[in-house]
Amino acid sequence: MGPVKGSKKKRKVDFAENEEDSGDWWVDFAKGINMFSKGINGIVSPSKGLIKFELVFGISRKTFNYICTLVRDDMSAKPGHFSFSNGKPLSLYDQVAVALRRLSSGGSLANVGDFLGLHHSTVSQVTWRFVESMEKKGLHHLQWPASDEKITEIKSKFENIQGFPNCCGAIDTTHIKMCLPLADPANKVWLDRENNHSMLLQAVVDPDMRFRDIVTGWPGKMSDSLVLTTSNFFKLCEKGKRLNGKSVILSDGSEIREYILGDLGFPSLPWLITPYRDKVLSDTQMDFNKRHFATRMVARRALARLKETWKIINGEMWRPDKHKLPRIILVCCLLHNIAIDMHDEVQDEISLSHCHDENYRQQMCESADTTASDMRDKLCHYLSRSLPNS
């Protein structure tokens, strides 16, 4: 899957128009969960005996309501005649709740069905209807900045982290693990360098941990550099159609173009600045690498938050459909961005982690560009003069 391009128009939402947006829906839904969730730690509030909405779905009611407005037309246009085990039909809110529980818990279809009082086939069908709708109606939440004002804001925030001027993003890659039968020769293509079956997700992230461009669907054994160079993002940058904004003139007269930051697994390019990798580094080069690491940490935290919140892509997915998985990954990225765009207070309360690819070794890319090296030296010199040592 290539970079996602969505509509530049953002849909305005009036929550008052949601006839189902009331406490009554959640009270009734929670009662159904209570019947099937005895003994599940942390889900039931000891003081009230009620299910905690935020712990079931990992998002606030405000964000949940907004997501319902996005998928309302699609999910209402195709009546599925879904019902709970007690015969009660699933409302729009019920269907969205089922899908979000499946995506956020990472539980099996059977476990989610037992938790909510549904047949596992209903969980599967409802979740997929939701995914199909979200990948159409939510794409405007994942796009490259469309205005000079927005890209200027992004650059300013990146510069405030560790002083990097004219920086537009940070790039990183993570593995989505899959549990596949070893006996099937066709599955060997999905074996990665750590002997896991996995699919890659590459993401370019802004300073607010929002995904601005993603690529997924490639086998986990592909190198980070190869995934990048086969992506549409790479092609756009190489053709001068992205990261093509105004250069900045530094205090020493050096000219710095727009760029993103990446680790040593990526090639050194005029628009992709990687750390110094020599065995012996000067003090200023070591300081540069520290600042570089601290700045691109937003990408690592974004991917860690993505996996921690939408656990369906954390751990090992049980025999997933390899054609559907990239679309599920995309929707999880959209939901991640929506929570940021909605200023979701539940997400804000989650502790930040930077570990999204545990037990995977750092990749090394040998590709180096002279122009990129010159620009890195200019940035290194500028940072050593303009900022105090860390």
pLDDT, one tens digit per residue, over 141-168 is 999 999 999 999 999 999 999 999 999 9
**pTM for this model (two decimals):** 0.90
pLDDT of 52 reads 83
Handedness of CA 121, 123, 124, 125 (dihedral sign): positive
- Please give the full DSSP string across 54-115, using - where no structure is assigned: HHHHSS-HHHHHHHHHHHHHHHHHS----B-TTSPBP-HHHHHHHHHHHHHH---HHHHHHH
Residues 6+ apart with CB under 8 A from 281: 289
Low pLDDT (below 70) residues in the chain: 1-23, 34-51, 78-80, 349-351, 386-390
pLDDT of 315 reads 85
